[in-house]
Amino acid sequence: MDIDKNHKHTYDKNGNITCCSLEQKIDYKTAPPVMTKEEHSDDDGHNHSHSHSEDSSWKEYLPSIISLGLLLSGLATEHLLNASFFTGWVEIIWYSAAYVPVGLPVLKEALQALRKGEVFTEFFLMSVATIGAFAIGEYPEGVAVMLFYAVGELFQAAAVRRSKNNIKALLDVRPRIANVLKNGTYVEVNPEAVKIGETIQVKVGEKIPLDGKLLSENTSLNTAALTGESKPQTVQKGEKVLAGSINLENVVEIEVSSLFNDSSIARILDLVQNATARKSKTELLIRRLAKIYTPIVVYLAIAICVLPYFFVESYVFSDWIYRALIFLVISCPCALVISIPLGYFGGLGAASKNGILFKGATYLDQITKVNTLVMDKTGTVTKGVFKIKKIKLFSDISEKDFMRVLMSIESKSTHPIAKAILEYNEENTILPEATNINEIAGKGLSGTVENKVIAVGNNKLMNEIGVSIPPETKEIVESIVLVSIDNEFAGFVTIADELKEDAAESINLLRNAGIQEMVMLSGDKDTITQQVAKELKIDKAKGGLLPEDKLNEVEEIKKDSSKIVAFVGDGINDAPVIAASDVGIAMGGLGSDVAIETADVIIQTDQPSKIATGIKIGKSTQRIIWQNIVLAFGVKIIVLILGAGGLATMWEAVFADVGVALLAILNAVRLQKMEWS
């Protein structure tokens, strides 16, 4: 749908009314990816906020404050002070002055809509009703209708800003600074300001801000967020590095190969910022109903004014036009058309605040229907990093001395398992020097430590040097490191991918959220997959699967039409299954490029328990939206009947329209106030 920036309420090509168009107020597409429009970046990359943002916020409320002040003082002068001068032109001018600050913008919008052939907008309804009220001498009511409408707009804008800020706060995890080589020194600048061919420096532990080519000799990168691969990736000079990777070793220099807006991070953010493009079925239905409903009530209002002339003996035009105007004010569909999308914005904002990004309101609805969850293992319920799980000794050596000699040998290796073993040395004690290191490909290492011959590796190495190992080692499913000292078996260390802290809790939360069946599909060894599934009490598990095998498994599950399937994964190999599922969920702070682009929901915090949180937010959003629908329709029907019968005044009409809209907005805002954890 094309959005006219100067006209907030319009119709799309399908005839869907976009009354109080929230898209224009959020306008994600034009929002800069790093800085807000109130900020700019100097050459040094530091952001500066302008005081004009505060001024513009104050100016936004000023017309309503002026109008309210004039309305209250006019009512006080007329009814409390009973001032004799407050009649005729004085009264008209006073209330007109109260009307202009809030009414003029609406009148302008109504004229613009009429020029485009759009008659039945809320601007038209509000303009006709309030001008009509002035025409029959009901000046305070005319001002009040427009004032409360303006206040409703302010409430709506504030609620949308809150949702937008929640989403923006989550997006600000991306790199904000790039150290660029300028005139022989490195200067901190915004990544958006870096040009292709410039050289940037990335320190240990920092995220790489832009795609590029490595100029340094080598480094090790954590690319789990991009590829789903748990092992660090060693990159040599001249090889490509991707934005979002974390530098693990050495201070490195990189030649930038693409602009920030073309990087993998920017593409991900673009997807997130346009999350509101996909409407839910409920929202689309209400907008279509509003398109039919609005002209009907306009014609009914005309009938209320004209038809009694032919049937009522004591027909008084001013009485019946007043009833028709009341009917018009009540009929305005803004309570529905504002509050329902705002309810979804509240849900999207609440989800974003909790680290969950939905790519549209439709998925906020769809996730509530999921009853079968299929999940990957590595990076989804496990951390995707190696860690010592068990140390077992088979000699008189102490665990401390056993680990000292093992770490001495492993300190000469760059293998991920070696790094996991070296993490045991938390106190950074000085290790004895290992000499005569010999690496046996595919088997392990041998060397000399404190005049003892140490061999570290797998059972093939132990067989080669003639060391017998206990039978129990053959039954261990995790990665195992066998150690011999002077050709005597000394013990072993098991290395395993560690479960995430909230993995076990997540399974219970998901069952409580309505997930009836959970399945684990992994490319890891089947024995390891089965062990993790058993530990977490997952219903079914299969390991040793290729991406196409995972896809076949999910398609087999989907053959049962009663099952609504969600799949959660983190790597590029999970993308086909994410696409095939009813709700695709990408796990990871930035996730694999392909997984992010394919997924419907992104768990930004890497916590599987957030899936259950997302389901809860979706269900609460639906509940609040239906509360708003019932409230709006219920009150409108009652007051419409009373207005047509002459039993309701313009004040009741104000409540039925703007009052109900305000209540619905406040109800929707509750979503962002709730605690979900």
**Could you confirm whether 486 is annotated as catalytic?**
no
Q: Output the six-digit token pair for 618.
A: 């979706």
* CA distances to 229, 246, 479, 558 from 380, in Å: 12, 19, 19, 21
As a whole number of Å, the CA-based R_g of the chain is: 33
- The answer to whether the Cα torsion of 261, 263, 269, 275 is positive or negative is positive
Rounded-to-integer distance, Cα 640 and Cα 634, Å = 10
Catalytic option among 376, 524, 574, 593: 376
Report whether 304 contacts 644 (CB < 8 A): yes
Return the HEC string of 610-656. HHHHHHHHHHHHHHHHHHHHHHHHHHHHHHHHHHHCCCCCHHHHHHH
∠ CA 604-599-194, rounded to 5°: 60
Letter string b/e over residues 239-253, b meaning 16 or more CB atoms within 10 A of that residue's CB: eebbbbbbbeeeebb
**Nearest in space to 345 (alpha carbons), one of 255, 275, 430:** 275
**Nearest in space to 513 (alpha carbons), one of 608, 579, 596:** 608
**Nearest in space to 17 (alpha carbons), one of 267, 487, 338, 316:** 338
Q: What is the DSSP letter of 250?
A: S
Rounded-to-integer distance, Cα 514 and Cα 370, Å = 8
Burial of 592 (0-12, 13-18, 19+ CB in 10 A): buried
At 26 the three-state DSSP class reads helix
Residues 6+ apart with CB under 8 A from 105: 63
Report whether 325 contacts 132 (CB < 8 A): yes
**Nearest in space to 199 (alpha carbons), one of 42, 207, 209:** 209
Q: What is the DSSP letter of 248?
A: -
Rounded-to-integer distance, Cα 610 and Cα 351, Å = 9
Rounded-to-integer distance, Cα 68 and Cα 127, Å = 18
- The answer to whether the Cα torsion of 474, 519, 598, 347 is positive or negative is negative
Rounded-to-integer distance, Cα 122 and Cα 217, Å = 65
**Nearest in space to 342 (alpha carbons), one of 677, 5, 56, 672:** 672
CA 281, chain centre distance (Å): 20
**Nearest in space to 214 (alpha carbons), one of 258, 262, 253:** 253
Q: Which residues are catalytic?
A: 376
